[in-house]
Chains A and B, each alone.
Chain A
Amino acid sequence: MTTTGLRAESGTGPVVRSVAVAAAAIVVIAVLGLYSLTQGEPDSTLGAVLDNLFRTGPIEGDIDSLLIREVRLPRVLMALIAGAALGIAGVLLQDSMRNPLADPTLLGVAQGAGFIIALSALYPEVVPPLPTTILCFIGGTLAGILVLGLSRDARNPVKVVLAGAMLSILLGTASTVVILIAPRARAAGVLEYFRFVIGSFFDVRWESIGLVLPWFVIAIPIALLSARVVNLLQLGDETASGLGLNPGRARIGLLLLAMVLVTPYVAAIGPIGFVSLFAPHVSRSLIASTDARLVMAISALIGAAILLIADTAARLLFFPFEIPAGVFTWIIVGPLALVLVGRLGGRGATA
């Protein structure tokens, strides 16, 4: 992300590059998605997968149909939807705050959502009876606003990251308190909380897809339409307001939009680290442009591909043992994100 909105282009234009990158990402997603659908216990043939994908109607008795359509397909879909949402949310946050490290993982969003989960699992009577996705939206958004709003200078990476880290620890302790003061009879909720904390696709079924899909359908078009606003904000507050935009209001709107994109998936699969930090940066360097319209589209595809890889690897690497996708992304995506941040180091370290 350069501070000037556009870079000098040489040779191929960003649109051509974007199409090429998008095509490559779609191929990866298609191949890996089909592969993931065939793998399991027992493995299915590619023919069976294709057959089940394109046939509607009731599930027949065979194990293949059941596994593919009821177990593996929802997981693959969830990985794709969540990855796309995370990729777009990353672009929204980074560009609107003009902070290369604005990322839900670093803003304490996951811990904010986690606290609400702990509360609703152990003390359902004090939490309004709303769906988990809405509760996570409230908790996560409050945490994000607290960090960005109170740290005064949302553009300073060091301040925001430190504030986010400390708030995460605080909220983690608060969740622990909820667990510790709850009577033993409610211990089942504790397990629910820890299953959330690790971040995994273990429990993803069609119901979880149904839970997040409405948010996705509403938020993605709005995000893509707001790309123009994001581009204006990249030019700096003065230029943006000169062009008729209220930067403060736009920023709050985009922050809320990013939360709408991220928190439902946090509710469904738990905290998945660093995808939304990594995907936008990779997209920008691949297409050599900071035009939010292109970056958002590419970042969505790359985010989807990353989560699909994470889920497939987490499921198959140590088969039959499954490691949580959360652990996997922390180990693989985290360091990659750091390498990217290292490149930005010069700017970030001036804080």
Chain B
Amino acid sequence: MSALASLPPDPRVRTSIRTIAVVVAVTLFMMAMSLWWGTGSVRLGPVTAWNALFDSENAERLEVVAAEARVVRILMSVLVGAALASAGALLQTLYRNPLASPEITGVTQGSVVAVVVWLVYGPRESADPDWLFPVIGCIGGIAAGLLTYAVSRLGGRVDPLRLILVGVLLGGLLGSLLGLALIASDGLGLDLISWTVGTVQSATWGRVGLLAAALAVCLPLVVIAIPYGNALALGEDVAQGTGLTVNRARGVVLFAAAAVTAAAVSLVGGIGFVGLVAPHLVRRRTGSDLRRLLPTAAVVGALLVLVADFASRNIRPRDLATPFGAAEMVGAFALPTGVYLALIGAPFFIHLLRRQP
């Protein structure tokens, strides 16, 4: 906070605070609506939902179970969205390109592949503890991130182009391995495939706690990375002129983004596009200073995943296909959260592509 206070008065500080307040309000409303509005087999009104939440005596009542399941998903969505949006803000600053996002660092793919490979090829005699595969996913994601950085560094300089290329290269390789594992995974099938695009469906209290703890550990890292990111945003030469070791600064920012991304995707799978979209939605109001951009983007990211999960819970593709007489062409599978985020992300992507400076 002291750093903020020493800034010259900037009108965008006030705009940012106002933006955050509005988005937080919308997010809270969305959380509430997500809790009581649903087309599933159990219908909860606002009052029923509220009562069910605090009804500890009848733990088996259908409403109580449903309300609790929804709360878990809501919390998971919020945490994941905030994490990925923060990573996206850091990466867009690092690459100095509005198209950068956590998916291109190899971290997302690394985590997804680690989990899928573990589930397909790993030993399956005993029931795994709840925390095991997130830890594996996290290790896979961070390993992929470190590999990206290490390979980019081989030539001496860590420039954005090399980071992107290595990320793409690693992503392609991991995609190949993922295909192999999925072919070998008869029986696990669709659940694994939805994991590859990301789903909040598998959330439990334990996993929410795990993610919250992991993000709490990452928070200091992100705070440390913010000034580095801001310095890098000035351009390599200026950054160097301020006495910054550019390679190390890039490493710090990349690692912070990778750690946050790995924590999130190891619990929900390969959710993408939050990191691409969220920073853009707020940049015009907050400016590019990460101190304002990152927290605002985090709240917007939470809102985005919340909306996507709400859609994923309540939209059934078969119902949509029925009016067109195509019901028999569509299976009963509810689409995972990541699909709706991609739907939000696709027009954005095209827009950004066209508007690139």
Enumerate chain A interface residues (CB-CB to B < 8 A): 101, 105-106, 123, 125, 147, 150-153, 157-159, 161-170, 172-174, 176-177, 179-184, 187, 190-191, 194-195, 197-199, 271, 273-274, 324, 326-327, 330-331, 334-335, 337-339, 341-342, 345, 348-349, 351
Contact = CB atoms under 8 A, between A and B. Distances in A.
Contacts of B171: 165, 168
A182 B172 CA distance: 25
A337 B155 CA distance: 13
B176 interface: yes
25 contacts: A158-B161, A161-B165, A165-B167, A166-B104, A166-B349, A169-B103, A170-B346, A170-B349, A172-B175, A173-B338, A176-B194, A176-B197, A181-B331, A182-B329, A182-B330, A183-B328, A194-B182, A273-B172, A273-B173, A326-B176, A327-B180, A330-B172, A337-B169, A348-B161, A349-B162
**Counting chain B CB atoms within 10 Å of each CB, which of A101, A183, A271, A351 scores highest?**
A183
Contacts of B172: 105, 271, 273, 330, 334
Interface in B79-134: 95, 97, 99-101, 103-104
Interface residues of B, number: 58
Contact of A197 (B154, B160, B169, B176): B176
A179 B193 contact: yes
A334 B329 contact: no
B311 interface: no
Contacts of A125: 329
A65 B154 CA distance: 48
A311 B136 CA distance: 32
A250 to B, nearest CB: 24
Contacts of A123: 329
A342 to B, nearest CB: 4
Nearest to A331: B173
B313 to A, nearest CB: 15
B276 interface: yes
Contact of B329 (A151, A183, A339, A345): A183
A173 B197 contact: yes
B164 interface: yes
Nearest to A187: B189
B289 interface: no
Is chain B's binding surface mostly helix, strand, loop or mixed? Answer: helix
A166 B354 contact: no
B273 to A, nearest CB: 8
B176 A199 contact: yes
Interface in B247-280: 272, 276
A341 B176 contact: no
Is chain A's binding surface mostly helix, strand, loop or mixed? Answer: helix
Given A162-B99, A169-B272, A331-B173, A181 B162 contact: no
**Counting chain A CB atoms within 10 Å of each CB, which of B99, B190, B272 scores highest?**
B99
**Counting chain A CB atoms within 10 Å of each CB, which of B168, B272, B350 scores highest?**
B168
Interface string B327-349: 01111010110110010011001
Contacts of A182: 329-331
B150 to A, nearest CB: 12
Interface string B194-237: 10110000000000000000000000000000000000000000
A183 B318 CA distance: 10
Given A191-B183, A194-B182, A349-B160, A159 B176 contact: no
B330 A183 contact: yes
B135 interface: no
A106 B104 CA distance: 12
B234 to A, nearest CB: 16
B331 A184 contact: yes
Given A101-B165, A179-B190, A338-B162, 18 more contacts: A147-B353, A161-B168, A163-B99, A164-B168, A167-B349, A173-B338, A173-B342, A180-B193, A180-B331, A180-B339, A183-B329, A183-B330, A183-B331, A190-B193, A198-B180, A273-B173, A337-B169, A342-B162
